[in-house]
């Protein structure tokens, strides 16, 4: 009979495999999307938090400032975002999606939604519920 520790280690291996497989999954979609998976997630976050500042992106994604700067510059260069001076302090630049950024975000969502539907069609909803419950418990225990 497997020990609790062994089961936990197996779960960790499965989670690592899941993350690797999801990265491959996104990478396979990337040529079709014309944005990297990180850029796609960044566009989603900016859409939900319009007017945020660059530091907030770094905090959310746990990225170094240099990495965020590079990503923001690339998204701005490609016309997906725009940085505007804050009304109270010109030193602060607020980040917004452009029309092109909104269109790309919607396009990526549609493609991801279609792909997710294919994945979840083969899964039992009770299994998904059990995984969500277990991961919630683990995350709550890690926060303590």
Domain count, the chain: 1
In a domain, residue 126? The reply is no
For residue 41, what is the domain's CATH number? Answer: 1.10.10.10
State pLDDT tens for residues 47-96.
999 999 999 999 999 999 999 999 999 999 999 999 999 999 888 999 99
Q: For the ranges 107-111, 114-118, 128-132, which has the lowest average pLDDT? A: 114-118
- CA distances, 57 to each of 47, 65, 133 (Å): 12, 9, 28
Question: What is the DSSP secondary structure assignment for residue 95, as one 8-state letter?
Answer: E
Instruction: Name the average pLDDT for the chain.
Output: 91
Q: How far apart are CA 125 and CA 120, in angstroms?
A: 8
In a domain, residue 109? The reply is yes
Which domain, by its residues, includes 48?
32-120
Q: Where do the H-state alpha helices sit in 2-124?
A: 4-33, 37-48, 54-61, 65-77, 99-120
The pTM assigned to this predicted structure is 0.78
In a domain, residue 132? The reply is no
pLDDT at 42: 96
In a domain, residue 127? The reply is no
State pLDDT tens for residues 42-53.
999 999 999 999
């Amino acid at each position: 009979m497997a020990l609790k520790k062994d089961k936990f280690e197996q779960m960790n291996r499965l989670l690592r495999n899941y993350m690797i497989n999801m990265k491959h999954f996104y990478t396979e979609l990337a040529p079709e999307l014309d944005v990297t998976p990180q850029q796609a997630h960044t566009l989603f976050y900016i859409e939900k938090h319009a007017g945020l500042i660059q530091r907030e992106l770094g905090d959310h994604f746990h990225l170094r400032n240099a990495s965020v700067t590079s990503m923001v510059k690339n998204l701005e260069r490609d016309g997906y975002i725009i940085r505007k001076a804050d009304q109270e302090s010109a030193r602060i630049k607020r980040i917004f999606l452009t029309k092109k950024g909104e269109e790309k975000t919607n396009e990526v969502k549609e493609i991801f939604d279609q792909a997710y539907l294919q994945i979840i069609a083969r899964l039992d909803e009770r299994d998904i519920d059990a995984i969500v419950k277990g991961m919630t418990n683990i995350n709550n225990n890690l926060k303590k």
